[in-house]
Amino acid sequence: MVRIGPYQIIELLGEGGVGRVHAAFDTVLEREVAIKSLRPELLNDKSFLERFRNEATHLARLNHPNITTLHSLFSEGHNLYMVMERVRGQSLDELLRARGARIGIRDSLTLITQVADGLAYAHSMNVIHRDIKPANLMITETGLVKIMDFGIARARGSQRLTRDGGIVGTLPYMAPEQLRGEPGDERSDLYSLAIVLYEMLAGHVPFAAATDYALMQAQIHARPPRLYLPDLAPDVESALLQALAKKPEHRFDSVQAFRDTLRTSALRYEAAGRGRTLMPIPTAFAARWLARIDRATFMRFTVMAAAVVLAVSLLGLVARMLLSSPSSDPSSLDLLAAPKTPSLERAAATGSGRLPPAIIPPPQTSRPQPAVLERERHAH
């Protein structure tokens, strides 16, 4: 088995015009990695060596769940090797070709907001990718999106890596200012991201032509065709068309602003996909807030809510007891205090108002008084 330093090469994962990527095993840390290297015929080309080191330098500055993690860069022999995390899954380009059709709106928004998260972070670190396209977006087996290939990325304010009069990027996804040879900025990445979203929703890129020149002219001058999808919310299409504006100043100010607009819609589509009606916007913002708080904060709020519910329940119980207590009217107290015989209770229950026969007292015979008896005896 081939070894490069402490890494055992397992298999070839991919190969392009610039380099190769192999799956390998780190025998020191006992983990799977991916090793990227330049093609042998390019090792004497200083521009490609500069691009390779440039990618490693930019990746080393970034640490985000939606960006591939760089472990190390080392040289052995005449080649350079970039050791990165092994991402198991497939690229968005492979997913689009495998389906042969567009991706659903909900899934498209879920995936594209992840890419926007990674890009927004890279921009906050002053790194511009400049080559956002489906082939550079990996989707893991768990649905996590990873941005790959920062080979032509540029730090804000640094010199470009292009040859004189040349451009770098992928024509169907390049912003108009890039095609005009301008350096571009974060809004150029935003334009490329919008092209990717358009392709996911429509099943094809907005601009296509028979020649590269015609394609460049379409990117610079033509308006993207409208998307006539019955389930596409107007705010999503409006945000997409704004991000595809020809002039950077007409687009969103940042990828983050574009992401926030799409994320609200994504939450509503997610709710609708579970069989419920579309989530109202205030609820969507609440869901976003709940998703961002940590576990400890959530537990504190849960305990506080439980305490409030318990206190309200106790107050309700006390109020009920007070309202159900006997009246202060004396007559009512006397009636309540008077003992009731079972017979009286039965009479009250029957509603007759008469005592049962069994308890009617027998008639009393009149008994003569002692003085009357004495007079009668003297008379005789």
Residues known to be catalytic:
131
- Asked whether the CA dihedral 209, 215, 220, 221 is positive or negative, the reply is negative
Contact 98, 81 (CB under 8 A): no
Residue type, 131: D
Q: Pick from 162, 125, 168, 160: which is nearest to 255 by CA?
A: 125
200 class by beta-carbon count within 10 Å (0-12 exposed, 13-18 middle, 19+ buried) = buried
Give the pairing type, strands 145-147 and 154-155.
Answer: unpaired
Nearest to 148 by CA among 34, 38, 262, 255: 34
111: amino acid identity, one letter: L
Q: How far apart are CA 257 and CA 263, in angstroms?
A: 10
Q: In whole angstroms, what is the distance from residue 36 CA to residue 52 CA?
A: 9
Which residue type sits at 336? Answer: L
